[in-house]
Structures are given as C-alpha cells and as structure tokens.
Amino acid sequence: MTEALAALPPLLVEEAVERALKEDLGRAGDITSAAIIPPDARAEAAIAARTPGVIAGLALAGTAFRRLDPSATFDRTLTDGSRVTPGTAVARVSGNARALLSAERVALNFLGHLSGIATLTRRYVDAVAHTHARITCTRKTTPGLRALEKYAVRCGGGSNHRFGLDDAILIKDNHVAVSGGVAEAIRRARAYAGHLVKIEVEVDTLAQLREALAAGAEVVLLDNMPPATLAEAVAIAAGKAVLEASGGITLETVAAVAESGVDYISSGAITHSAPTLDLGLDIAVRG
Amino acid sequence: MTEALAALPPLLVEEAVERALKEDLGRAGDITSAAIIPPDARAEAAIAARTPGVIAGLALAGTAFRRLDPSATFDRTLTDGSRVTPGTAVARVSGNARALLSAERVALNFLGHLSGIATLTRRYVDAVAHTHARITCTRKTTPGLRALEKYAVRCGGGSNHRFGLDDAILIKDNHVAVSGGVAEAIRRARAYAGHLVKIEVEVDTLAQLREALAAGAEVVLLDNMPPATLAEAVAIAAGKAVLEASGGITLETVAAVAESGVDYISSGAITHSAPTLDLGLDIAVRG
Amino acid sequence: MTEALAALPPLLVEEAVERALKEDLGRAGDITSAAIIPPDARAEAAIAARTPGVIAGLALAGTAFRRLDPSATFDRTLTDGSRVTPGTAVARVSGNARALLSAERVALNFLGHLSGIATLTRRYVDAVAHTHARITCTRKTTPGLRALEKYAVRCGGGSNHRFGLDDAILIKDNHVAVSGGVAEAIRRARAYAGHLVKIEVEVDTLAQLREALAAGAEVVLLDNMPPATLAEAVAIAAGKAVLEASGGITLETVAAVAESGVDYISSGAITHSAPTLDLGLDIAVRG
Amino acid sequence: MTEALAALPPLLVEEAVERALKEDLGRAGDITSAAIIPPDARAEAAIAARTPGVIAGLALAGTAFRRLDPSATFDRTLTDGSRVTPGTAVARVSGNARALLSAERVALNFLGHLSGIATLTRRYVDAVAHTHARITCTRKTTPGLRALEKYAVRCGGGSNHRFGLDDAILIKDNHVAVSGGVAEAIRRARAYAGHLVKIEVEVDTLAQLREALAAGAEVVLLDNMPPATLAEAVAIAAGKAVLEASGGITLETVAAVAESGVDYISSGAITHSAPTLDLGLDIAVRG
Amino acid sequence: MTEALAALPPLLVEEAVERALKEDLGRAGDITSAAIIPPDARAEAAIAARTPGVIAGLALAGTAFRRLDPSATFDRTLTDGSRVTPGTAVARVSGNARALLSAERVALNFLGHLSGIATLTRRYVDAVAHTHARITCTRKTTPGLRALEKYAVRCGGGSNHRFGLDDAILIKDNHVAVSGGVAEAIRRARAYAGHLVKIEVEVDTLAQLREALAAGAEVVLLDNMPPATLAEAVAIAAGKAVLEASGGITLETVAAVAESGVDYISSGAITHSAPTLDLGLDIAVRG
Amino acid sequence: MTEALAALPPLLVEEAVERALKEDLGRAGDITSAAIIPPDARAEAAIAARTPGVIAGLALAGTAFRRLDPSATFDRTLTDGSRVTPGTAVARVSGNARALLSAERVALNFLGHLSGIATLTRRYVDAVAHTHARITCTRKTTPGLRALEKYAVRCGGGSNHRFGLDDAILIKDNHVAVSGGVAEAIRRARAYAGHLVKIEVEVDTLAQLREALAAGAEVVLLDNMPPATLAEAVAIAAGKAVLEASGGITLETVAAVAESGVDYISSGAITHSAPTLDLGLDIAVRG
C-alpha cells in the first residue's frame, strides 16, 4: 500500500498548497494574527480525528505549514491510508505562531476534504471485501483537485479510473450512436489510439456487450444494469474483457452489485459527495 | 436577489473554467471524440435536474462550452438561485459536437458542485425562515474554489462570512490567550486595523461576551453555546453587537439556535460537506 | 508598530521579487557581469540613505539578493518604519558578486519606491500629530503593487483604507444617483453585504450626511468640504459614524482639515505621487 | 511620432490590465456595484485632464473597460503623446454600468501613472529643446511596469535606455575595478557580447574617457561631471563615441548640462519620481 | 486521418503560441516594424514549401498571426498531414503589416519544427509500408513541446506512445532489477495500476519475453534485438501480446526490423533529431 | 570561456525544468516507479557520452534531479562547452531512486537537445577556425527554448545574434520596400531607437551595401551572396561596418564564405536542425 500512496507528485502538492494559501491570505495577509500575535511567538499544534475515518493528504497539511515557516516541524503520527477513531492523533506541528495560525485553515481544508473522500471510499471498499470487485472512481471530481482526489481514493483502498479525457478511451452512447454501432466505434478508436491506450466501451444491453466482446473491447462498462443482468454479463464475457458496473450504485446496493462477479464498480459519489472528515487542530501559542 | 447573484467576478469564472478544462483535457485532449466524432458534427444538449434543489453556477457551465466552441449557444432556462424539481429544464446548449462532449464533464462538475452547496444552504435557510437569523458560511471551503462556493451560498439564500484572513478580523481563543484577555485583543486589533475592517471576537462564555461588548466589539461569535445560553447572550448584547452562533450546528438543531434570537448562524457543512446536486445532460449528436 | 509591519505576506514578497527579477534579467541575464565578473568573485555592499525619510521594503531587497544567491547574507541595520537621515546605514549584504550586481537594481527599485511612500505618508502623519485624525490611503495605487504600497503607508504611520473593490462597500455619487438617494443605497448595500463588511457612503452635503446617519452608515466620506463644513459635520455626527475627509487635501491644508475633528483623512498623493527615496548601495567586489 | 508610440506590445497591455483588474476585484468582485447597480444598467463616461500634461496609456484604459465589458466602446479624443490642458477631453467610454464602475480605478491608475511620466519627461525634453541633447531614461523604474514606463518616456518625447540587464552592456565602476581598468573591461565585454549588442562604459574622469575611447567604446556614460567638464569631454570624444551625461541632473540643471554638447542625458527621476497626472472621469449611469 | 489530426487541443495551441510570441516580442516588442512600418499598413503573405515533406502545425501558424491581429485572415491551402513538394502553396495570410511581420518568425518556427517531425516520421512510415508494423514515438521530445510533437508524429502517419510517465506503465530494466524479476515487476504494476492503464515491459532476452508473456504483459518492448531474434519473438508471442521493437533503429534498418513481424517500432529520432522543414513566407507590404 | 557559459540565468533554468517535469509527470506522476520501486530506495547514475560532441545544459540536468529530490547530489565531471568522445563521463548523480528515475528523461532531453546544438555549432566554428569569422545564430529557434538554445550556441563556440524582436533592429527587405530605400529605412530606425540599440540592415546587392554604409549602418547582413561577391563587399565596407553573411550556408560551404573576410556568418541550422547528442544514463538502484 505504501508505494501506491507515495505516488502523489510533489509538484502538484506544492502548487495546490500555494494556490490555497494565496486564496486565503489575499492581499493583506492574516491581519488578525499580525495585529495580536508577537512576531516571534512560537506555537505547537496537534491534529487529531474527531470522527472515525481514513486519513489522506498529510503531505498537503505539512506543506502548508512549512510554506509559511520553512523551519517548522511536521511530524506524522501515522500515514495516509490509516484508519482513525475519535481521538486518534494524526500529526504534530511546531513553529512560528503566526505562520501556524495562518496556515491552519488551509491545512485542515485539504486534510478534511481528502480524508473525507478516503473515508467514504473505504466504506464502499469494505462493503465489497468479500468479493473480488474493486471500487473505482470517475471523472466526477471537484474542478482543479482531480489528481489529489484520485490519490485520496487510493488511500481509501479504491482503484483509479482514467485521470482525464486524454489517457484512455471511453466510448459512450453518443459515440456509439454517431458511429452507427459499438463495433464501428471500437474500430475507429483502435485506429486512432496508440498501443498504450486502453479502450473501454459503455453498453446498455447484453446484445451490445456481445458486440463489444466480438470487436475486441478490453474493458466494458455495464451501465445501469441490475445485479442479475450483471451476473449474466459476467457469464457472457467469460474473462475476455474486464467488466465495470456503473450507474447509481449506493452503499446499500454495492454489495449485491459486487456479488454479480464484475471486476470493477465505479462511483461518482466517493469524490463528488463525500462529506469532510472532522479533524481538530489544537494550537498552543507561547507568546 | 438578481443583483447579489451577478457579483460572481467574470475573471474568476474564466480562470476556474480554464484550469478545469486543462485538467480534464490533459496533453492529448479528448481522444475518444477525436477518434470517433466527425470534426464538423453538431450537437444539442439539455441540462435538467434529477433531484430537487437550487441551481448555482450556470455561468461556469456556459463558459466551459463556449471556451471550446466560441460560437456555441448556451441558453439558460432559469437563473442561479432558482429551485428545481426532478425534470426541471436548466439550460440548453448547441454547438460543435466534439466541443460539447469535451466540455460536458467540466460543466457538470461545476454546476453539480455549486448547486449542491446552494441546495444545502437553502435547506438551512428554510429551516430558520420563521426567525430573523441568517445562515452564513465559513472559511471551511474547498481549496481553490472559495469565491465560487461563497457565491453558491448566496444563491442558496445564505450570507457570506469573510472571504479570507485579510478582509476582516476574527479574534479566536488563541489570540485572546496570547493577549491576556478579550479586551486587550480587541484593543490590539483596533489599533492595527483600518477603519473599513470589521472586528469580530469569539467568546466561550457570557462573561467574555460582556467583556467584548464593553471593549466595543462589532460582532461576537458565540462558540458552542446551547440555545438557552444564546438567548441569554442576545439579552445581554441588547443590540449593541451583531451576534453569530457557531459550532456543530446541524439541520436538526438550527431552528432552535435561530429561535434564540441570534443574528447569524455559521455552518461549515454547507460548503465542506454538501453532496453534489444530480443534474443530467442529454446530448444528441448529429453526425 | 512591529506587529503592523510584519503583516507583509511573504508569498506576495516572493512573487513581486520574482516578477521584477525576470523583468530585469530578460532572456539573456546580466550580460555585463557575465562578461566581466569572475563567476566565483564575492562582494559586499552597504545600503545607506542619502536623503531624510522613512524606510519600507527591506524584506523585498533581501529577497532579491537571496533569490539570486541563496547563501547571501542580508543584515538589516534597522527595521521598516525607521526614520533615516543622510548617511544612515540601512542594511549590509554579502554574497556572490554576480548575484549581488544582478539584483542590485531590483532591490533598490523596491526599497526606494516603498520608502518614498512611507516618507511622504510620514510627512502627512506628522502634520496632523496634534489632532486625533489618522492619515489613510486610497485605491489610487500603482497597478500590481497595491498590497506593497499599502504596507508602505503603514510603515509611514498611516492607516489602510480598503484593499480592493471586494473587501468593503464604498457608496459613491453614482451609486447614490442610481438608487434614488443615500438611504436607499445604504439599504441595498446592507441587504447584499455580509456582516463582516463595513459600509461607507460618500456625501457632498450636510443634508446627505444626516440622511446617511439616519440610515445607519458606519463610515461617511465627506467629499471636498472646507474645514468649517467638516467641523459642522463632526458636530452633526456626534460620534455616531466614523468620518473621513477626502478630496484634494495637500500637505499645506491637511492640518486645518484634521483640526476640524474628523477621524480619517484620505490621500491619493501618498501612493500615486510619492517621489522615490534616494538610497545608495556601495558594492565592493573582491575578484 | 505615431510610429514610436504604437510600439507598445499588445500582449503586455493585456497582461498588465489583467493583473491590475484581478488585484482590484479580489475574490468577491465589486460588491458595491453588485449591491446597488442594476445588472443591465448602462453608463457613459468622459475622461478629461484636470492639470496640464502629456497623455500616455490610453490603450491600457481602453483595455480595462473592454475586459469587463467586451462590447463597451472606447473612443479616444486624442492620441498618446498629446499635450493637454485642464479640461481637455481625452476619451469617452460607453457600456455596461457595473463594468465601467468596476474598471474605472484601474483605467485611471494606469493613465494617471503613465501620463505623469510622459508629462515630467516632456518638461525635461522641452528644457533642452534648444540643444541636440536627448533625454533618456534608466532602469530605475517601478518593478513590474518597466516596458509601460519606457513607453511613457517615449510619449513624452524622451528616448529609451536599455530595457534590462540583457539587451546592452553597461560597464560600471565595479566592473572596471574588478577588471583592472576600463580597457580590459571593454575587451572582456566585446569578447562576450554578440555583434548586435552595444557596449557602454561609465567613466568618472576624463582620463578614463580617453581610455574608453581608445578601447573602442561605442557609448560613454559621463558620471556626475559638471557642465564644464562635460564640454571638455565632448571635445575629447570628437564624435568617436556617443556621450551620455548622468547623475543627479534636475529640471534646474538639465539645460546647462545639455549645452555642454552631450548627446544624451539620463534621468531616473522621470520614471521613479513623476507625480501622477490628475485626470477626471465623469460617469453618468442610466439605471 | 482528418479525425486524428483534429485532436490537437486548442488550449494547448493558444498557450504555446502565447509563450512563443512573448519570448520573441520581449519587453519592447518588434522595434524594427514599429520604427519603419506605418501603423495602418496592410500586408499579404504566402507560405510555400521549399523542400519536399509533410505539413504539420498550421493551426499554430494561424493562431500566431491572429493573436497579433484578430482580424487577420489565414487561409490554408491544404491540411496538416499533406505532402508537399518545393513550391507547394501551404497557406495565405492577410492583415495588418506590423502584426504579420511581428508574428512571422513564431509562425514559421512552429510550422517548420512540426513539419520537420512529420516529414521524418513519414519517411519511416513509408519505409515499412509493405509490412503491418507501425512507427511510434517516445518520450524523447523537446521539453515543453511534447503534445505538439506527438501530434506531428500522427501527421506523418505515425502512432503515439505514451504522453508522459503517468498515462501508461513501462517497466524498464531498473524496475525489473529492483523487483527481482519480470514477473514480480508486472505483478506489482498490476496491483497498483487502474484498469484503464496499459502495462508494457521491456525485455532484453527471449527468456524474459516468455516470462513477461506468462505474467500477462499486454505490451512487450523488445530492446535492441536483431531482426532474426525479433522474428523469433514474434513466433513466441503468437499474438498474445503487442510487440514493440526499439533501440537504435534507423531509416536504413527499419524495413528489416518491420519485416520481422513486430507490431510497433519506436524511434526517438523522429522527434529529437528531425531537421526543420524549409518553408518560405513571402510578405508583400502595402504602405 | 567560463564566464560566457555562466550567463545562463538561473531563473530561466528553474522555470524550464519545472515546465518540463510537469509535462512529463502529468496528473498521476511516475506510476511505474510508484508501483515498483520502494519509496526509500536509493540510486546512483552516471551520464556518459555515446557519440562525439560538445556538452551543454548540465545545469538543467542537475536542476531536474534536485527538483524531485532536493538532497540529491549532482557532480559534474566536466563543464558545459567541453568536448566529449564516446565513453566520456559527464556527470554523476545520487539520490532517491524514484526521484532519479522520474527526472531521468527530462534531464536527458535537455542535455541531449542543447548538447546537440553545441555540437553542430562547434562543427561550423571549427570549419572557419582559420579565418576571423565567427558563427552566429538566428531567431530560428525552438519556440519557448530560445535563451537556452542561444546559450548552447555559445557553448559550441558560437556568438549570439539578437534574442528577440526587441533588443536590436534588423531591417529586412520588406522594411526597405515600405520605406522607399535602405537609407530612409535606416533614418527611421535611428530616429526611433535608443542609443543602446544596434541597427543592422539586410542588403541583396553591393549597391544597397554602399547605400547602407553611406547611411551609417553599424551592421550589414549580406543576404545570399556568393563568396566572391562577399569578398567584394568586404573590400567596399573597409571596416566601416560589421559584415554578416547569411542565407543557406552549410557545413560544406561555410569555409569558403568565411574566407571572404566577413565578420559573422549566421546559420539557422545550428538551432533548428541539430540532431540530439546521444548520451547514456546508467542507473543502479539499490532497493
């Protein structure tokens, strides 16, 4: 697991934190701290969970604090992907008081948002743990934060779908309609795409699934099919293509979907509707 | 209401859409559409609500489509802030098929995210409609999207708290502790701040409230007080300061809080934990 | 004073210096030093005042030198806000000779420009020191340098007006005209603005002032009124609103204006027409 | 003259205006206009001079208005470089009322700043009109605005010195000291520089001037020499190099310096210490 | 072919042209044209080939001209991917003379560079036309221009390898060495990667090939094998994996490599060592 | 030589490397290394030449590695401008294994590209070493990399022509045609340009050369003249202007051109058609 989590590109982290700090500090900076906190005061802070969940985004929190005080220390008590319960210590930070107070909200906003996604993902992952199905995300992410949110999905035990329109082909109903059929759409895709691009095609019926398999689709997205139909699809595909179930799947229905034997279950909710994870940061300033 | 909603700065809209499109299109662009859709094909699409809610962010959706096809038309059926029920038409777009397919996800991601915030805000606002209390947001926003999310709060009938650390002073417990007391913290803040900066101070007790009022605080944040204590605070303040209740207030408890007579109730959940609003976009491509 | 001065956000400093260095170094860099100065030569430089004034912007100068030689030392002899006379030592810098020569002009351009503003501000501040009036700035700043110039105003003993169109409401004559009156304009502003936004209204007559006070304006800008009228305004307001005098006030007239009893006097000249402060930098290169 | 003025690169204009608008509009935009001005209200405005001077920067003002309302019209009554007296009409603008009110300050800040530089430059140029000397600028410009300020110098009738450290070689005292002499410094510069790079050398004495001429310097900067010495230098150079006088030259002394026969007189004051030109913008909003 | 070529994302084109124009125009813009060409002069220009080749990048050329004169017309005589001989007309452009002269070099630099890549690619493609092998590129591209160069490869009839380190997995010798073997490396890759990520593994020997096939590699890169060994590899793979030959393949050797039966042949030379295509632009200015 | 090479501005290096790394790492980063290489594994790598040539760009390679692992060491075995033969060690790098593997391609792409230019330049320079002619570049560079490529030209022993349209005047045929003649074009240029701007004029005939010399041109570009005509031109100019030969000069013809006595010979090929220099990087990972 550790290797997977390490794949958050450091340049992305720096850029995201920089933008968030500028957004919060604005033109005049943290005027409350400037007015009240002595410039050389020191502070220590502890981050702890207040509700159960999975942590993601510690690198962003640490980067936020150190960006405003390069000599600040940020010690993680655990790693991204760890489960926490109320009270679990997450990290400790120590440094210039003004810097810590100024970076606090940015650090927590990142940590809470990404941990929220990891936490919800983990609930889906746990719900299908008795099957071989994996939970995967979609492109339904918060604008500007996709790579970070996809990382949070991995922290929650999920797998990543494509990162954008450019790194894999996903043929949808409109593409099929324009092409005149699933087979022709796959043919066009194969003619266009390089040999390191996977091709997935969305189908609504088992007839389309058979057409897709005959045309050599590598991955087939089974859209809005009930578990029984999915099970039929699994039998039809017989391992010739990876099967992904999609469409309105909830925490209540995901187990039944997984038991159909599909390989992947994609969910938009794990990125676009995950509530934040409640984390507390207690700061002690020594004036 | 119209005026309020118009205050979404166009430069911010353009910048946010540009970043989101680049994130989704990556280096190679929408390879599926490039492979399959004829370059001159046209398409029409209709956006409609699938669940009840409040719309916010139409300008972002329109900008996304027109950024990829400047001659595309985007016709709003309603305006930001409107309530919708399942099936309510939201907008129609017409233009180059590749452009529409490529921009679809970005448009919906913005629209769903901001409408989700407007929808949740509206639920809080409706819950306190029988009182004079207003719902207000916090700085607990998604990194990089604060101004857009604050706009969505207004679309849902909420009011905006400060936009960053720089446009108002909010004295918190740490600031008070370092200063040696509420009154001294307010004094320092007043000495530092310009005459167009409001000063708010967070208090935990009614004694602190009295100290804050005596020191001339313009706004007092009453942290984690039960409704009965809040009502006492309202009586003590007697209109000498604006009172804001804060801390773990939910849809279940917000009415009781509002009935205490406070002026504002702030909620982090309306921005950091609002599920997306489910919106559908049906595209018809004419090859 | 120290706290106020510390509020120059470090991210802004870095960004401003980066832009200025790129502007000066262009595509080919400092070709004179590259041609003539050995790459490992060291240099020491001393910055000193040549005319009397107030220093502002030392952080920018230091950042410029260290950006080109991270191991350079920059020692301040005094702090921003300090008064200097011809010959007063300001700072000493030591490092790679090419780096120091390349950064010299950028460092001095920032320091001279901001110290010029601090110096002129201080002259206004001194002129009204016998009154309770404070000197405040406007939005008439050099494009792209507003936050830095507002910081320089504080270094000169001035107070800051709003930083942009977004952090406070200032109702001007056109807004009043469109609204149909001062009271209606204030009503609209109050309905729109959050509770942490101050509302100021500009008035031309004492009748308008009375209307503004009745409508609950928190700050009133008295535009182009002679001292006698200002004194009347002070009597009318009787502490119910903060009063700001504005309009063509010069170093010659500012004392009389202040003696009217107004709380703030705003001046565009302190930012848009301050001559640079003459500072010398003597470099000794050891080849 | 027209051709010279047209050389303000449009990309620079757009970039400078974009940055300035973002600086002023911040996160929430022009909240006063959003609160009070109906979204479809129209406005017309006239820009006129209030004090005598020379206009520079009309393209920036026009770009500011049109950036916020692409359909706005901006009609120049005169061109950059024109002299104005109090009351001279400069331009008329018509468009959406909110857009015009929001862009007003940015437009005027650019126009006033650059016109101030053009105006002061013109005073120096007029003072030496009876000689063949030309007034030229320096690198003592406002950080981030160099190209715009150099353009303003041309609008005032001045000539441009180098734009940065990279487009010409200027050998100063430190370079000479490290090299062991003027001739060796010139030799190194010539060996390094391409054939389209001019080489100027700063000299303090006539002996150094003779050394520079012997070494083939194309331009010689005569630093801090009184007019009589400058006249001697002119005689010594006898047309073999371009001569530039520099160092503490004021409006009072510039004529005497020019009468020495030097070719160029450089002044930092025309860019770093020019007061803004007072321009008025009268807006009429039609609600 | 048309569909493939249309996949050059317009946002990338705009960004690349913007950067290139800024690089060439610098701070002062095109001073030669500003000095000499009347501001309203018009010009017409024709772009034609001077040597045989394949055209790529017309959108960049057109964007460059229109960026400086939005009303300029740019008419393509042919489309990207077309073969040209000396004298073949490529495009005609008409517009403001200064704008055309200022954009000329940027337009030609893009067009020549990308056409050079398309031309060299086409030579490789033609050399293997009698086989089923396809020519593909690598990540050995000019820094900052990868997506444009990959597009040029497609214009020349080539196919694209991965666009970066993030859109496909390519296991190289070091990865194999660390893992302890090809099979383990593939296992780790599969565990980490999402289901839309292809996995390619580089092998040096036929034994490694067998191991890779057994481990389920989808694509195998055969590094530096002579044609006879490649033919053996083809027989061994028997269609179970896509085979890519790589390593020092030249125009002289590529046909023999292709005749081995491999599916893809990758070449770094087509992007990193393609000479520019010589194109002439004849401008006629009408003063 | 060392001084010349040191003139690669560090800010440009950082910016170019940052852009290239982001281009290669994309949204998800180096997924192969993340999947396979343990996060704490170390690696050492040696860069060596595989073909003869001249090295340029070591700073870029070093910056790439250290950007991903700030504690990595990068030791140069030689300096930019050094000649290498197959096997010559160039540099050694040591650091985190993932970081080194992720930065490898960017480092080599820069180093190979710039060394390729230096190598080709050196071949031209060597070919004219028996004359006093210097080889110089043009503006025919890869978009976005001009300053780096001009630096590589210097590393190869070449001299730099202007860096953009803004740092020198080059009057071409169209400028002459519009002006009505060489002399008038020069007159306009001189009237416009500052005294630190060199003026070069392109001529097609000896008659135009005489006109240019009479008008005081400082540099004359002799376009497409055979060596005999060039020799005549040299005689005519007689040292009164710098002479530059240009137009289709190849490695085969450059010596004859140089022997005509011209001062500079410009070549577009050295930047736009230089094949990459083949460099190998051998990494050893210690897991």
Task: Give per-residue pLDDT as tens, D211-227.
Answer: 999 999 999 999 999 99
D residues 144..203 contacting C (CB < 8 A): 144-146, 163-167, 169-172, 174-175, 177-179, 185, 188-189, 191-193, 197
The predicted structure's pLDDT at residue D286? 85
Contacts of E167 in chain F (CB under 8 A): 26, 28
User: Is the pLDDT confidence value at A29 over 50?
Assistant: yes
3-state SS, residue D184: helix
User: Is the pLDDT confidence value at E3 over 60?
Assistant: no
8 A C-beta contact, residue B263 and residue B131: no
Which one of E26, E192, E285 has the shortest CB-CB distance to F31? E192
Among A246, F28, B219, C234, CA closest to E167: F28
Chains that touch B (3 or more CB pairs under 8 A): A, C, D, E, F
Separation in Å, CA of D243 to nearest CA in chain C: 19
Nearest chain A residue (CA) to D23: A27
**CA–CA separation, E166 vs F34, rounded Å?**
10
DSSP β-bridge partners for residue A135: A265
The predicted structure's pLDDT at residue B8? 84
Partner-chain contact A276 B167, CB within 8 Å: no
Contacts of F2 in chain C (CB under 8 A): 39
Which one of D27, D36, D38 has the shortest CB-CB distance to B147? D27
User: Is the pLDDT confidence value at F87 over 50?
Assistant: yes
Say if F31 is an interface residue toward chain A (CB within 8 Å).
yes
Q: How far is CA E17 from the centre of its chain?
A: 17
**CA–CA separation, A243 vs A261, rounded Å?**
9
Contacts of C27 in chain E (CB under 8 A): 23, 26
Sheet holding F279-286, edge to edge: F73-76, F89-96, F42-49, F279-286
Say if B28 is an interface residue toward chain F (CB within 8 Å).
no
What per-residue string of b and e applies to C66-99 under the rule 16 or more CB within 10 Å gives b?
Answer: bbbbeebebebbeebbbebeeebebbebbbbbbb
Pick the catalytic residue from F140, F187, F198, F240. F140
User: Is the pLDDT confidence value at F199 over 60?
Assistant: yes
Say if A12 is an interface residue toward chain F (CB within 8 Å).
yes
Nearest chain D residue (CA) to B12: D27
Dig out the tokens for A38 from the structure: 């002595």
User: Is the pLDDT confidence value at E181 over 60?
Assistant: yes
The predicted structure's pLDDT at residue B231? 98
Instruction: Give per-residue pLDDT as tens, A40-59.
Output: 999 999 999 999 999 999 99
Other CB atoms closer than 10 Å to residue C44's CB: what's the count? 16
A202 is catalytic: yes
With 0-12 / 13-18 / 19 or more C-beta atoms within 10 angstroms meaning exposed / middle / buried, residue F235 is exposed
The predicted structure's pLDDT at residue E31? 96
User: A with B: how many residue pairs have Cβ under 8 Å apart?
Assistant: 212
User: Is the pLDDT confidence value at F6 over 90?
Assistant: no
DSSP for C126-175 reads HHTTTSS-EEE--S---TT-HHHHHHHHHHTT-B---SSTTSSEEE-HHH
Task: List, by residue number, the catalytic residues of E.
Answer: 105, 140, 172, 202, 223
Separation in Å, CA of C25 to nearest CA in chain E: 11
Which of A15, A17, A30, A31 is the best residue to mutate to test the B interface, defined by the most B CB atoms within 10 Å of its own CB? A31
The rounded mean pLDDT for chain A is 95
The predicted structure's pLDDT at residue E229? 98
What residues of chain C score a pLDDT lower than 50? 1-5
Partner-chain contact D28 B2, CB within 8 Å: no
Chains that touch C (3 or more CB pairs under 8 A): A, B, D, E, F
Pick the catalytic residue from F30, F202, F211, F263. F202
Which residue's structure tokens are 């990048």?
Answer: E57
Tell me what the mean pLDDT of segment A124-146 comes to. Answer: 98
Which residue's structure tokens are 């009429």?
Answer: D284
Other CB atoms closer than 10 Å to residue B183's CB: what's the count? 18
Half-sphere CA count of D269, side-chain side, radius 13 A: 16
F286 is catalytic: no
Tell me what the mean pLDDT of segment E74-82 comes to. Answer: 96
User: Is the pLDDT confidence value at B130 over 90?
Assistant: yes
Nearest chain F residue (CA) to C29: F9
Sheet holding B134-136, edge to edge: B134-136, B264-266, B242-246, B219-223, B199-203, B169-171
8 A C-beta contact, residue C264 and residue C133: yes
Tell me what the mean pLDDT of segment E66-92 comes to. Answer: 97
User: Is the pLDDT confidence value at E2 over 80?
Assistant: no
Which helix (H) or strand (E) element contains residue E11? helix E10-25
C184 is catalytic: no
Instruction: Give per-residue pLDDT as tens, D24-35.
Output: 999 999 999 999
Partner-chain contact B164 D34, CB within 8 Å: no
The predicted structure's pLDDT at residue F4? 46
The predicted structure's pLDDT at residue A1? 38
DSSP for F182-237 reads HHHHHHHHHHHS-TTB-EEEEESSHHHHHHHHHTT-SEEEEES--HHHHHHHHHHH
The predicted structure's pLDDT at residue B3? 40
DSSP β-bridge partners for residue C244: C221, C264
Instruction: Give per-residue pLDDT as tens, A217-252.
Output: 999 999 999 999 999 999 999 999 999 999 989 999
DSSP symbol at F241: S
8 A C-beta contact, residue D217 and residue D241: yes
Which one of D3, D147, D167 has the shortest CB-CB distance to E39? D3
Say if C87 is an interface residue toward chain F (CB within 8 Å).
no
For this complex, say whether ipTM is above 0.90: yes
Say if D27 is an interface residue toward chain A (CB within 8 Å).
yes
Tell me what the mean pLDDT of segment F136-158 comes to. Answer: 97
Say if B267 is an interface residue toward chain A (CB within 8 Å).
no
The predicted structure's pLDDT at residue E287? 67
Say if F27 is an interface residue toward chain B (CB within 8 Å).
yes
Tell me what the mean pLDDT of segment D124-142 comes to. Answer: 98
Q: Which domains does chain C have, with CATH numbers?
A: 3-125+274-285 (3.90.1170.20), 130-272 (3.20.20.70)
DSSP for A19-63 reads HHHHHHHTTT--HHHHHHS-TT-EEEEEEEESSSEE---HHHHHH
Tell me what the mean pLDDT of segment B155-184 comes to. Answer: 95
Partner-chain contact E198 A195, CB within 8 Å: yes
Distance separating the N- and C-terminal Cα atoms of chain E = 42
A223 is catalytic: yes
B residues 134..153 contacting A (CB < 8 A): 139-146
DSSP symbol at A159: B
Instruction: Give per-residue pLDDT as tens, E211-249.
Output: 999 999 999 999 999 999 999 999 999 999 999 999 989
Nearest chain C residue (CA) to D29: C166
Partner-chain contact E188 F141, CB within 8 Å: no
F172 is catalytic: yes
Partner-chain contact C3 A29, CB within 8 Å: no
The predicted structure's pLDDT at residue F287? 67
